[in-house]
Structure 1
Amino acid sequence: MVTLPSPEPESADSSPHRAREVAESFGVDAARYDRTRPTYPTALIDRILAASPGKDVLDVGCGTGIVARQLRDAGCRVLGVEPDSRMAEFARKTGIDVEIGTFEQWDPAGRSFDAVVAGTAWHWVDPVAGAAQAARVLRESGRLAAFWPVPQMPPEASTAFAAVYREFLPDSPLSLVADRPALELYQTILTKALNGIRETGSFAEPEQWRFDWQRIYTRDEWLDQIPTHGALTQTPPDTLAAILDGIGTAIDTMGGTLTIDYATMVVTAARNGD
């Protein structure tokens, strides 16, 4: 889950990529992040590689290396770029080569790639400057692919969880959107990514892909990943404990498990020839 936009149109100054203190907060518990965040459908990895000219891949905002390891296991040579040194260190311990920095300012030092990917990270990148940087480092016909796993909760869960967030985080954007349709909210992020790619003039017309899958969480599994959400990484411990207790109680009421239908949404485009 990402920090979602508010229901009202946001100004440029409130765009997610400007919230650096949140973007660089996930390393507070890198092991939990890696343990609890979902991997991505194999069909997505396969489709990106099939649509790319080769297997040299740059992973933007690679975090703990979740996407990078999937790509490595698919035979790719992967380099990660990550602004949070704690996340980068975790990824390195799993065998991923990572350089520290924000993608927009990162120096590729003359290197080029067949694909630039970003898993649950592109909303932290300036959509225009990031797409322009991707165009600079991609080889001809190289592919940019940014993707997010969008969790679609059962209505009773989203209603119950929203009530908890509104009680304990009344001023958080999360409390405003927790019971709204997730795909509707994520479309704001997808549209920004699409428009940023178009604005560079360096790519073919971008596409949206979708991959559907499902996961059943136990109560403890769902509670374990909640502190890794962008809206909660900086929440005071007492408040976070109350939120976890409230959501845990709600899951108990629903039978002790939570079934999430995920739609992994992809914004992707191929770089034009020189």
Structure 2
Amino acid sequence: MASREEMSTSFGREAARYESGRPDYPADAVAWLLEPVAAPGRRPRVADVGAGTGKLTRVLRELEAEVVAVDPDADMLAELRRRVRGTPAFVGTAERMPLSDASVDAVVGGQAWHWVDPVAGAVEAGRVLREGGVLGLVWNVRDERVAWVHDLTGIMHGSSAEQLIAEGGPTPHPPFEAFETRVWEWHRPLTREAFIDMAASRSYVITAEETARRRILDEVGALFDERAENGIVELPYRTEAFRAVLRR
């Protein structure tokens, strides 16, 4: 099995499949993350950390935020630049952002904080945030209360993100005192290709030995064929969002 570090930086190998297979974030959830720094006629400046291919970046832009994207993987940022043109994008991490002190209103992470040292990440977020700024974290997780979705996870293997959410979500660390949280439930329609891309873009699958990888994707495809109606599977998701406001 690959190391945690190797898995955390593996996504660029499958950047296009990540973009195809991974869900977007509900606009209501992202707006809720930014609510503490939102004001009429004002565009909050937001650092999207672990921005990947720009899934969260796009929603932030649609909400009229001024966004700077940060990710440790240059290949993922290359995909982001193609898809979210005009967004400044830099190689960096949540523990070390290429940003000035007190320069942003929000630090957000979509599908990312489980790869972060939460103590160091919180300190760095506190450094780059202005007073009253918000640390906003969000995950799209499949709803495993549904039996066949639970079976799907068994095929693909669970992830550290799913484990974190199952254990109650991220723990706040100084300078943040507590997270507020909200959940949105919804369904994503997927074609067979996108369904397999969803599995193929998971770090466990990307870093698996080729025979194991092929077996996993074959089983995922077989499950799709069992569940599909008119060439589509409706995959249930829960979007779990957490926000903490900086009070010095």
TM-score scaled by length of structure 1: 0.78
Q: What letter is aligned with 1:125?
A: V
Task: Tell me which stretches of 4 or more aligned residues in structure 1 moved more than 4 Å.
Answer: 182-185
* Equivalent in 149, 162, 167 of residue 188 of structure 1: 167
Using the alignment, how far apart are the partners of 2:22 and 2:219 within structure 1?
21
Q: How far did 1:111 drift?
A: 5.3
Match of residue 254, structure 1, among 221, 227, 244: 227
Task: Supply the RMSD in Å over aligned alpha carbons.
Answer: 2.4
Correspondence for 2:216 among 227, 232, 243? 243
Aligned with residue 105 of structure 1, among 55, 73, 96: 96
Structure 1 unaligned regions, length at least 5: 1-17, 166-173
Structure 1 144/157 Cα, relative in aligned 2: closer, same or farther at 3 Å?
Answer: closer
Counterpart in the other structure of 2:242: 267
Aligned residues: 236
* Structure 2 match to 1:88: 77
Please list, as runs of the form range in 1=range in 2, the aligned pairs for 1:17-96 lying within 5 A after superposition. Answer: 19-52=4-37, 55-93=44-82, 94-95=84-85, 96=87
Structure 1 position 147 matched with structure 2 position 158: no
State the one-letter code of the partner of 1:45. V
In the alignment, is residue 137 of structure 1 matched against residue 122 of structure 2? no
Per the alignment, residue 128 of structure 1 pairs with: 119
Q: Letter of the aligned partner of 1:23 in structure 2?
A: S
Paired residues of 2:224 and 2:233 also in contact (CA < 8 A): yes
SS at match of 1:34: helix
Aligned partner of 2:106 in structure 1 is: 115
Q: Which amino acid aligns with 1:253?
A: E
CA 1:90/1:235 → structure 2, altered by over 3 Å: closer, same or farther? Answer: same
For 1:67 and 1:160, the matched residues in 2 are separated by: 25
Which digits, 9 at most, give the CA deviation of each residue in 1:203-254, with x for residues without a partner? 3432121111112323332112211012111123332222222222233233
> What is the match of residue 222 of structure 1?
195
Report the residue type matching 1:218 in the other structure.
T
- More off after superposition, 215-224 vs 61-70: 215-224
**Counterparts of 2:29 and 2:23, CA distance in 1:** 14
CA contact (8 A) 1:157 1:251 kept: no
CA distance in 2, matches of 1:219, 1:64: 21
Q: TM-score, normalised by structure 2?
A: 0.85
**Cα distance, 1:160 vs. partner?**
6.3
Change (3 A) 1:255 1:109: closer
Superposed CA deviations along residues 62-82 of structure 1, whole A, max 9, x for unmatched, are: 111111111112111101111
Gaps of 5+ in 2: none
